[in-house]
Every structure is written in structure tokens, then in C-alpha cells.
Chain A
Amino acid sequence: MRKALRAWCWAILAFLPLLAWSAEPTLRGTGDLGVIIERSAGRVLIVSTSSNSIISKVEGLGDLSHASVVFSRDARYAYVFGRDGGLSKVDILRGTLEKRIVQGGNSIGGAISQNGRLVAVANYEPGGLKVFTADTLEPVADIPAAYGDNKLSKVVGIADLPGDRFIYSLFDADQIWIADLRDPKAPKVEKFSNIGKAPYDGLVTPDSRHYMAGLFGEDGIALLDTWQPEQGVKRILANYGRGEEKLPVYKMPHLRGWAVAGHQVYLPAIGRHEVLVADTIHWKETARIAVRGQPVFVVARPDGRQVWVNFAFPDNGFVQVIDTLSGKIVQTLEPGKAVLHLEFTPRGETVWASARDDHKVLIYDTASFAKLAELPADSPSGIFFTSRAHRIGF
């Protein structure tokens, strides 16, 4: 009798922690999570790349056409930059909107500093950079992109650099600026002029050494070695159009996203159905690859073996895959209508593609090109996985 009672007590004791645990929310990490923009609905989807599913939705983020996202260094919070100048901080674990401010009239992107404390927004209107604290979104610095006689330029192609600096281009002023915010109250700005006509976007290489700005107004790419800024901005791939008239450009290409694979960089040609390839040592053109349409995103799988390309209207139903070893196109997919963005899972086994006009996101196996899953989404555009939290330039 006594023995039985004792056994019961032990059993209850053993269960207690389990009971307590089940009352708490399930613990989980964020390393396999991501954010998908539903551009017309002002909403983001929080997704899991382990279960290929939507785990929550967060509403009330404003005009998200052309929205982009950076992550806090603990990969818990997503900062969403909206077209309407909105800056929203989303708690991706809780699936809640933590804070939202409208900091400008019109913006397209931003970046987070190396130390994770500052979030910078690149604004079209009023043209310039605004910097906020990452935890509370309090304003800390405002750097108008002033040029000429009292004009403000639209700011594009922002990326972070080591040392809590931000690098970006001035579309209307043909300049590249580096803003140093080590002392956020007294930012220092270094300016490079005459970098080439109408820079439309920029990227830093994975080692954060080189910044490249694509030029809309002329053939070529502006290149700055940020380790040796005194050498100034060089022009690479100049005259890639060989003086031929370019095709009308229905959508500006994007340079964000690593297009660096091994010692080669893959870049969209403006107004041409080509991907340009240059080596990252001498920055000379090594190849050009004919593709289905005008490239928008040219992104390398994390291991660099494949480069995936999507296209501008009217070829935006296609996606092509370049094998970087042979330099040939090995696959052409038709994921759906108006494919706007591609994002690889951190180790590259799958790629997610958003098909805006089919209202879905498609998940492909990058080895077999088999479609693994489809998720419903309202006019999906950008897809951002938390692995970006730990890469410079994202």
C-alpha cells in the first residue's frame, strides 16, 4: 500500500515540469524563419523554411510596393521599409507589429548597422538618409542628399559597411556617399562624385570590400574599393552595350542579393537580354550569357554553383538557372505570372519564388528543380529569410 502511494507521488513529481512546460508557448528559434511581403495588402507573412508553411500574418504595414526587409542581429525582429516612408518593426516570433513610424514620404530600402543598433532608411522623398535606433525607432540622424543648388537626390542602393557605416548612391546626382555613424550624433559623410550617370541600385560584395552601383544612364558599373577609397570610383564593364540602342526598360533591375559566385560576379545588363559576368580580381568582363528577357534579380545560390535569374515585364513569368561551372543555362522554369523575387534557404537546398499575379509563393528543390510546395499569398513580392541577419550588406 505504502509502496504504491510512493510510486504515485514519484509519478506526479515526474510529470509536473511537463505540465508547467505545456502551459508556456512552444520554444523555438528563428533561424528557419522568413518574411514575405504581400505588397497590395500591407501585410507580411511569417514563414518557416523547415515546414514550408505560413506560421503567422502581420497586418497594418502600409504601402508595401517595393518593400524590403532587414533583420535584427538576434534574428527576432524584421524591419520592413515601405514605399510610403513607413518603417515597421515586426516581432517574427510573436507575429506582432511592435512599432511603426512614417519617417519619410517615399522610400525603397534600408540597412542595419554592423553593431545592430542603427537602422538607416534610404529615401526618395525627401531625398536623403534617415537613421533610427534599432530598438525603439527613435530618430538619431538625418542626412539630406543635397547636391547642386539646393536640390535633393533620390537615394538608392544602400548597404551597410563595417564600422557602422552605410554606403549608398544618389540617383539624381551621380554620386556615391559613405555615411559613418560610429558617433551617431555627429555623422561623417564621404562623397564620391561623377561616378557615372543615374546609379539605380548597388551592392557590396560578400567580403564587404567592394561596392558596385549599376548605372541606368550609361553602360557600365561604378566600382569602389572601400578598403582603398582614396583610389576613387572606377568604371567597370563600360560600354557593355557596344553602342547598340538598348531595349525599353520596364522594370529597374536589382543588385541587392549576392550575385557573387566564386571569383565571378553576375550582373543584370540594363536594356539587354543578357547577364554580364566579370571576375572579382581584375573586374574585367569574362562572359555574357544570353537569357530569356531583361534580368531583374541575378542571385547566386549560397554555394555559388548556380545563379538564378528572373525577368522584367513582359518576360516576368520565367526564371532561368545558370550553371556557373559551364556558364550555360541548365533550366528554364515558369513558376507563375509576374515572378518578382527569389530567395534561397540559408544552405541553398531550396529556393522560394513569389508569383505576384498568381497570388502564390513556390518552393523549388534547387538540385532536381522539382516543385516542393506552393503557399497562397496576396500579390507576394519580396521574400527575406533571417539568415540575412548575419551577412554584411544585407
Chain B
Amino acid sequence: MQHLLATHPRRRLFQLSPPATKPSREGVFFLPSIRIGLAVLALGGLGAGSLALAQEPPAPSPERSRELIRMVRQDCGSCHGLTLRGGLGSPLLPETLRDKPPDGLKHTILLGRPGTAMPPWKTFLNEAEADWIVAQLLRGFPEESK
């Protein structure tokens, strides 16, 4: 059973013109690397996982990572669900995001999606952090540590 919002028209991702200041080089770079990472992960198990990790965007400091994980689980979770399986916002699971360009997802997070309930988070997240969140979402978002 597909979530209604999961099937939103792809064109909306591209209607969002990326801000002039942000080079799209990053997205182009990460797109294949994450794809490969995921493919290898799917095939190979844990050893391959660390290979994907090596090419991921730099992780924020441990303290900031904890903050970001809590923010995504709790504050994004208020629309997307604690388990990120969706709510008012669409599911943010690896299987629902896998086929979407990570750069587009990053822009959605930073700039929101006008005309929908998805707000822009650029006041609270920088680009590297948004990249890191997208990478984590694509591999299955970490649980909060207690």
C-alpha cells in the first residue's frame, strides 16, 4: 500500500530551482556514491557498509550528531512520524527515498516545498548537515541513543 504523499509528482523536485549560491557539484558527486554504497550494502553486509560510510558527507561532531538525530526523530517526526514511516509528511524510509536524487532531497529539507506543509529548515541546518541527514535517511536513520 503506497503512501499518498510518497507518489507526489517527481517534477516538483525539479521545479524548485536550487539557490544560486549552492553549487550542484556536491549532489552530482554524492548521488552515484550513495547509490553504489546502497547497492553494495544490499549485496554485501557490514564490511561494505563502512565503504559507503567512507564516501559519505563528513559527520558533524558527536554532540551535534546527537542533536540532529533527536531533531529528525522528534521535530521532523511530528509530521513524518517518530519511525519516519510517514504521517502528515511522506515516509522518509530508505525504500521510499532511494530513487530520488539526494540533492533534491537536500533542497527539500533546506528550502521546504512551497505549496505543501514541508517547511524550510535552512535557519536551523547548514548544507553539510542537510547532506548528512539525507545520507542517514537513505541508509536507515539512526535511533536516538539514550
Contacts and interface: CB of A to CB of B under 8 A. Distances in A.
B102 interface: no
Interface stretch (A119-127, A186-194, A203-211, A368-376): A119-127
Q: In the complex, which of the residues B70, B119, B124 has the most CB atoms of chain A within 10 Å of its own CB atom?
A: B119
A381 to B, nearest CB: 9
A248 B112 contact: yes
Given A106-B81, A126-B1, A250 B117 contact: no
Main SS at interface, chain A: loop
A185 B93 CA distance: 38
Given A65-B78, A125-B1, A248 B87 contact: no
A251 B3 contact: no
Contacts of B83: 63, 65, 83-84
A171 B83 CA distance: 22
A126 B81 CA distance: 15
B77 interface: yes
Contact of A63 (B78, B81, B88): B81
B95 interface: no
B104 interface: no
A105 B77 CA distance: 16
A306 B83 CA distance: 36
A125 B82 contact: no
B72 to A, nearest CB: 12
A239 interface: no
B4 A152 contact: yes
A106 B87 contact: yes
Contacts of B4: 125, 127, 151-154, 172
Interface string A314-325: 100000000000
B19 to A, nearest CB: 16
Nearest to B85: A106
B120 interface: yes
Contacts of B124: 314
A65 B77 contact: yes
Given A154-B4, A249-B117, A252-B117, A124 B82 contact: no
Contacts of B119: 248-250
Nearest to A249: B119
Interface string A245-263: 0001111100000000000
A64 B82 CA distance: 8
B87 A124 contact: yes
25 contacts: A40-B144, A63-B81, A63-B82, A63-B83, A63-B85, A64-B82, A65-B77, A65-B78, A66-B87, A83-B83, A83-B87, A84-B83, A105-B1, A106-B81, A124-B87, A125-B1, A127-B4, A151-B4, A154-B4, A171-B88, A172-B4, A200-B88, A200-B117, A250-B119, A357-B70
Interface of B: 1, 3-4, 70, 73-75, 77-79, 81-83, 85-88, 112, 117, 119-120, 124, 144
5 nearest A-B pairs in the assembled complex, by CB-CB distance: A65-B82, A248-B119, A313-B75, A251-B78, A63-B83
